[in-house]
Amino acid sequence: MIARSRQVALALTVVLAAGAACQARGHHPPESGHPGASAARDRGFTLVASGDVLPHGSIIDRARFDAGGAGHDFRPMLSGVRSVVADADLALCHTETVHGADGDHTGHPTFKSPPELARGLAATGYDGCSTASDHILDDGADGIRRTLDALDRAGVRHAGSARSAREARTATVLRAGRAEVAHLAYTYGTNGLPLPPDRLWAVDLIDETRILADARAARKAGADVVVVSLHWGTEWQEAPDGRQIALARSLTAARTGDRPAIDLILGTHAHVPQAYEKINGTWVIYGMGDQITGGTTYHGGAPDPRGTQSTLGRFTFAPPARPDGRWEVTKAEFVPLLFDVDAGRVVNLNRALAKGAEVRSVRDRIREVVLSRGAARDGLVMGE
């Protein structure tokens, strides 16, 4: 993995004091650094976040082809967003699937991805990933262990699932410039698969009281910015559902002292792009869509090209004007993406080579959805 200043982990493990029922999860590898950060990055930082990485069987086959038949290589698949991801001070992704063992790699309905996926994410420039999803128990506790082990080996931090009770009590905190950013992650459920009775801490489930307790504990432990990833919403529905809206309003209204309890909410799961909205002064992405997917059919089997469309959010944070103040988002952007199923590549729809009429039509439709709840009035712009 490419070492950069934004990937510096806190040497001091931050253990949440909220109690076993409301604890954040993560892993803290040894601190690493990159000298020569610019003065601009000392003043603030940029954060990018992208949607679900969901390798269906066709995606696994493509990664095998890109590796020349020996193993799997996901780097070419993600190369279209590498410049955007690698240029950020902090980049977060969402791995919806677990990793299989000994060549046992499958797509829908029970996902078990190749472990090389973690290396591909790292090479693209991702610093951390949320792992709480409805597929996190597709291969039981062993699947969680293999997934987090692979992310550790690649140098990619993770939040939302855990291999041990101790890890389950440890917050994931990343360095972005001079800011310490806590990343928390939760899922609405696990597709009916029960948590192992002796590992009820293995996956973070959405619960408002628990999320706020974790966020406040992270803030009190020293986090400058608290980011929450939520695997939520109604699949194939562009409009956020009532539960998403209600939870977003409640979470963004909560405070920790003089500051909001949460600074940014990142949504996944719907498989289609959903709106961005600024609520109570905090940006919420209801759903980013699938960054990588082989699934383009709705539940009834009808083709749905929206399943290949997604966005990447980019937020520029400025340091507080006063001690103990809030790190403010001074610029909010979205980048429209398309997964080209035939080529097996993520495409940035705003890049120079992607300017055809059909591409512009898809890009404009994504923009309409993203801005459907008034985000343009609050300054959200489309970026490259």
Q: How high is the pLDDT of residue 352?
A: 60
At residue 3, does pLDDT exceed 50? no
Note the pLDDT of residue 170: 92
Instruction: Specify the pLDDT at position 20.
Output: 33
Superfamily of domain 17-382: Metallo-dependent phosphatases (3.60.21.10)
**Residue-level pLDDT at 323:** 84
Picking from 265, 262, 127, 148, the residue whose alpha carbon sits closest to that of residue 202 is 148
Q: Report d(CA 277, CA 377) in Å as an integer.
A: 10
**Of 82-96, 244-258, 341-355, where does mean pLDDT reach its minimum?**
341-355
Q: Give the three-state DSSP class for 145.
A: helix
Structure-model confidence comparison of residues 109 and 251, the more confident one: 251
For 30-35, what is the mean pLDDT? 35
Domain range summary for the chain, segments of one domain joined by +: 17-382
CB 292 within 8 A of CB 243: no
Binning pLDDT at 50, 70 and 90, where does residue 43 land?
confident
In percent, the amount of the chain with pLDDT more than 70 equals 88
Of the candidate ranges 15-24, 101-110, 221-230, the one whose mean pLDDT is the lowest:
15-24
The pLDDT mean for the chain works out to 89
Distance CA 340, CA 353 (A): 14
pLDDT band for position 299 (cuts 50, 70, 90): low
Mean pLDDT across 370-377 = 98
- Confidence band of 302 (pLDDT split at 50, 70, 90): confident
Sort strands 255-256 and 225-231 into parallel, antiparallel or unpaired: unpaired
How do 157-159 and 225-231 pair as beta strands? Answer: unpaired
Task: Please state the rounded mean pLDDT for residues 43-50.
Answer: 95
Any bridge partners for residue 47, and if so which? Answer: 90, 315
CB-CB contact of 18 with 216 (8 Å): yes
CA dihedral 249, 250, 253, 259 (to 10 degrees): -120
Can you tell me the mean pLDDT for 109-136?
A: 97
Q: In the chain, how long is the greatest CA-to-CA distance?
A: 56
Residue type, 324: D
Total-model pTM: 0.90
- For residue 300, pLDDT beyond 90: no
Task: Please check the confidence at residue 25 and state whether its pLDDT lies above 60.
Answer: no
Residue 42 vs residue 85, higher pLDDT: 85
Pairwise CA distance, residues 307 & 298, whole Å: 8
For the cut 60, the answer to whether the pLDDT of residue 7 exceeds it is no
Q: Which residue has the higher pLDDT, 43 or 148?
A: 148
Give the DSSP H/E element, type plus range, for residue 92: strand 90-95
- The answer to whether residue 355 scores a pLDDT higher than 90 is no
pLDDT for position 154: 98
The mean pLDDT of 332-338, rounded to a whole number, is 97
Question: Per-residue pLDDT for 310 more than 80?
Answer: yes
What confidence category does residue 47 fall into, taking pLDDT thresholds of 50, 70 and 90? very high
